[in-house]
A = this chain, B = another copy of it.
Amino acid sequence: MSIGIKISLNPKLYLRDPQETMLGRKIIKHSIIQIDKLGFEAFTFKKLGCCMQSTEASVYRYFENKHFLLIYLLAWYWEWLNYLIDINTKNIESPEKKLQIIIETLVDANQENPAIEYVNESILHRVVIAEGTKAYHTKEVDKDNKDGLFSNFKALSEKIAGVIEEVNSEFPYPHALASNLIEMANNHSYYAMHLPRMTDIKIENNSYEQVKNMLSFFTGKLLDS
- Residue in B closest to A138 when the chains form the complex, CB atoms: B39
A contact face: mostly helix, strand, loop, or mixed? helix
> B175 contacts A197, CB within 8 Å?
yes
> A217 contacts B42, CB within 8 Å?
no
Which residues in B have their C-beta under 8 angstroms from that of A180?
180, 184, 187
Which residues in B have their C-beta under 8 angstroms from that of A174?
200
A100 contacts chain B at the CB level, 8 A cutoff: no
A198 contacts chain B at the CB level, 8 A cutoff: yes
Identify the interface centre among A134, A138, A172, A197: most chain B CB within 10 Å of its CB: A197
The number of chain A residues touching the other chain, given as a range, is: 35 or more
A131 to B214, CA, bound (A): 27
Which residues in B have their C-beta under 8 angstroms from that of A172?
200, 217
A93 contacts chain B at the CB level, 8 A cutoff: no
